Amino acid sequence: MPETRPLPPFWLERYLAPREFSTRHMLCGSDSESLTVKQALELASEEGRALWDNMNLMYTPTQGSLFLREAVARHYAGVGAEQVMVSSPQDCIFAAMGALLEQLSGAVIVTYPGYQSLYELADCRNRPVLRWEPRSDGAEEPLTFYLADLERLFDEAEEKGHAAQLLVVNFPHNPTGYMPTREEWRRIVEIAESRGAVLFSDEMYRGLEMDPSDRLPSAVEVYKRAITLSGVSKNLGMPGARMGWVVTHMPEVITRALEIKDYTTICSPPPSEVLAYIALEAAETILEERRCIIRENLKYMESWSKRWGHVLTWHSPRAGTIAFPTLQEQCGDADQFCARALEEAGVLLLPGTVYDFEPGNRRVRFGFGRRSFREGMEALTRMLEKMHAQS
């Protein structure tokens, strides 16, 4: 068997690419309400505005400019700028995961379904990839990641002779919206530590908890063998800035990730670095504005679902911008329903089949982080009313 195989298409991106920018209502987006440059600059501190006004459009350091890495580090207890690498979120995954997979030889356990690059890079290197999948106790119950299932996967990997050396998690979770309690999160970290596994934690949606007191500590704050991934795309309203970071106490990972990054982006654009700095300096203001939008959209959705519960079973998540409700059988499968919504209502939804998750053909991803959510839902409702009248 060859050591590697070609990367397959990134199915979510291939589904969205021909549809996302031509549809009238983007109802499956995973980002929160985006900022304009004008709005961002209005939030800038005196230092942030000076950085913007005096910015030189030259190369930046490969690891990221010091002012930005220091701003990132201030958001994590016990972290310094030298423990931060800045790049686009996808590049951060590619470089950090590449470094880890060179240094670790065992199996990989991942929360699944999920963002494809979080598990595909390991799979393409023919590493055993074990899926930690959520379960529901019934059609009316939300999907939940059970700790007993995680323990079982670690045991299974050991029994097969390739102990899991890497645990990859994403909480708040894309696409289910699931977030563990503080005690459950403590146990997840404890399980990784007791098994001698590195913990890679995708925290792109952290900060979008409906109750800010529910916010979990970052993995890098509670475990020395953790890598935290975050950025400004999902929670801080700057997906177009293409800025993210990884934070870790493992210097060998940063060193090797930077060497891999030399073959991809090398460095970040100065405007993106400064905008990310401004967002971090105004983070709580930006986050609260987005939480308010999300709360209003969820309030609308909870009311909507009382009327349309025969169409889908809705459970409002405790955090994040997305949910993965179950489509009722009389509406057809997810592919059919999403195709009809796009054609008849100009509404773009994401069928669960994109994730190769059972029963993906019964689930649809909704994104409720934008102000335009209600307008899109009203267009979808008109289509459903027409369907109901014709039945």
Domain range list for the chain: 11-37+285-386, 56-282
Q: Please report, rounded to a whole number, the percentage of residues in the chain having pLDDT higher than 70.
A: 99
Instruction: Give the per-residue pLDDT at 1.
Output: 41
Q: What is the dihedral of CA 79, 81, 86, 90, to 10 degrees?
A: -20
The predicted pLDDT at position 139 comes to 64
Beta-bridge partners for 38 = none
CATH of 56-282, one of 3.30.930.10, 3.40.30.10, 3.40.640.10, 3.40.50.11390: 3.40.640.10
Low-confidence ranges of the chain (pLDDT < 50): 1-2
Tens digits of residue pLDDT in 48-61: 999 999 999 999 99
Count Cα atoms within 13 angstroms, Cβ side, for 284. Answer: 3
Q: Which fold has domain 11-37+285-386?
A: Aspartate Aminotransferase, domain 1 (3.90.1150)
**CB under 8 A, 24+ apart: contacts of 209-213:** 209/172, 209/179, 209/291, 209/318, 209/319, 210/291, 210/294, 210/295, 210/298, 210/318, 210/319, 211/318, 212/287, 212/291
Which H or E element spans position 51?
Answer: helix 46-53
Q: Determine the Cα–Cα distance for residues 157 and 167; give it in Å rounded to an integer.
A: 12
Helix (H, G, I), strand (E, B) or coil at 151: helix
Do 245 and 72 contact (CB within 8 A), yes or no?
Answer: yes
Could you tell me which residues are beta bridge partners of residue 26? Answer: 348
Instruction: Give the integer Cα–Cα distance in Å for 331 and 333.
Output: 7
Burial class (CB in 10 A: 0-12, 13-18, 19+), 384: middle
